[in-house]
Structure 1
């Protein structure tokens, strides 16, 4: 079935199980994952990527959800603003086995329906491996306030399609990368790096709990990711020694009761402003 369609690839997310790496940019078989997915939609009139701009996708329209990392529904909402074709292929950026033949089969299966999605080995619907009528998807998004793709797309009643070759397989973990790369050196290197970073995060979690016990602090009150973001911004924008000093000063302010709910966010903004001023 040949239909006029755009393609929307969701290439954001935090990739926590991969140590926060740039998952769409990880290589499998010598090629970034997101480029492999883009190659599966060669006939798309417009390629829309919701994520950071990438040099390997000339002609693509790059958009970002607000705020970045808000989740797949806000990302889809952002991407749909650029869709103009009657149909759209909605895809994740980490589908190493997806091919143009699989996408064509989805379009053929969707004839007479609102859309079609791939089914995995356990017949679970893969919401980021499907094709949709643009009008149906737009109507579903209008007024939808949930955060679940299942809640958004399930009521549309898409056709479920099982295809050989595991086109639904995505890369969420280091083991997934190794399986996808089938021994490719770049996949193994990415996986090793992810394992090392995952171990480091586990150590950090254990250390945080130990220090909290020592200091009598409830671990639930510690927004570790936010503090790490703060120290990263300060180290990069101001100076490395300023990062632990800033975290210490923030702790003093919180203990004294002078830190508000937005203090940490404001400190990040100050570090970014410092970098802009000193970089001019």
Structure 2
């Protein structure tokens, strides 16, 4: 399994919670942001994008341009701090207090797995398709999973194309795009494309526009414990996460 970096997006306005510093809210006695960082403790580099007064040692902090410019602008700021040879990145919201290292490992495993119709590196038959994955072109944050693994076609050459990223989908098949791992080259190309399309500014750009055209492997969580993609948008969500974390 390849090494990876992690970019944690912590710059949201939390309007549904009165504008509080949501990533700093405790769940299980620890800020949600720190719980996310703990889930990627083995990453080669960890970056928090947003205001953060105190972070674990070795974590870099940067602000998106402009501050409050949204998750795509934040992703661009985080990726800009990664070493040029970084090939994989976990792109994560800071309000995922139930995220675990096992869940990140599951995503990395699915991203690394070949499509059914491609050959393995040794020239033999492709491995069996993953039980919970699904390859599909990005269709936006609320795109449903199709429940199977289909080979992705390269639009330019007509050949097989490996996934650009892998993210969880919830029980209703909705993509949790900010609970995923991605190929850095694909994200940087998408950021460049979107910057041109939007006249030079990524402020306010939706995540679905960033991922448009990327091939995404959709992963359903069937491990032990609560869903790692559970995000906290309301006070009730925080209370629910607190109950799960006990």
TM-score greater than 0.5 by the shorter chain:
yes
Name the one with the larger strand percent. Answer: 2
2: CA distance, partners of 1:57 / 1:23: 17
Paired residue secondary structure (2:39): coil
Report deviation, 1:155.
Answer: 1.7
Count how many residue pairs are aligned between Structure 1 and Structure 2: 184
Structure 1 runs (4+) greater than 4 angstroms displaced: none
CA offset digits 1:237-277 (Å, max 9, x no partner): xxxxxxxxxxxxxxxxxxxxxxxxxxxxxxxxxxxxxxxxx
Paired residues for 1:22-37 under 5 Å: 22-37=21-36
Change (3 A) 1:166 1:54: same
Matches within 5 A, 1:21-170: 21-84=20-83, 85-111=86-112, 112-144=162-194, 145=198, 147-164=205-222, 165-170=226-231
**1:103-123: per-residue Cα shift (whole Å, max 9, x none)?**
011011112421101101111
TM-score, with normalisation over the residues of structure 1?
0.63
Note the alpha carbon deviations across 1:5-60, whole angstroms, 9 max, x for none.
11000001100011100000000000000000001112100001101233232111
Residue 183 (structure 1) shift: 8.5
Aligned: 1:17 with 2:16:
yes
Aligned to 1:240: none
- Ranges in structure 2 where 5+ consecutive residues have no aligned partner: 113-161
Task: Provide the C-alpha distance between the structure 2 equivalents of 1:76 and 1:91, rounded to a whole number of angstroms.
Answer: 9
SS of the aligned residue for 1:142 comes to: helix
Residue by residue, what CA displacement relative to the aligned partner does 1:75-125 show, whole Å, maximum 9, x if unpaired?
A: 111111012211000000000111000001101111242110110111111
TM-score for both structures, normalised by structure 2: 0.72
SS at match of 1:110: helix
Structure 2: how far apart are the matches of 1:70 and 1:140?
Answer: 17
Distance 1:44 1:24, change over 3 A: same
How far did residue 66 of structure 1 move? 1.5
State the secondary structure of the residue aligned to 2:11. Answer: coil
Q: Report the 3-state secondary structure (helix = DSSP H, G, I; strand = E; otherwise coil) of the residue aligned with 2:5.
A: strand
Which string of whole-angstrom CA distances, capped at 9 and with x for unpartnered residues, describes residues 196-228 of structure 1? xxxxxxxxxxxxxxxxxxxxxxxxxxxxxxxxx
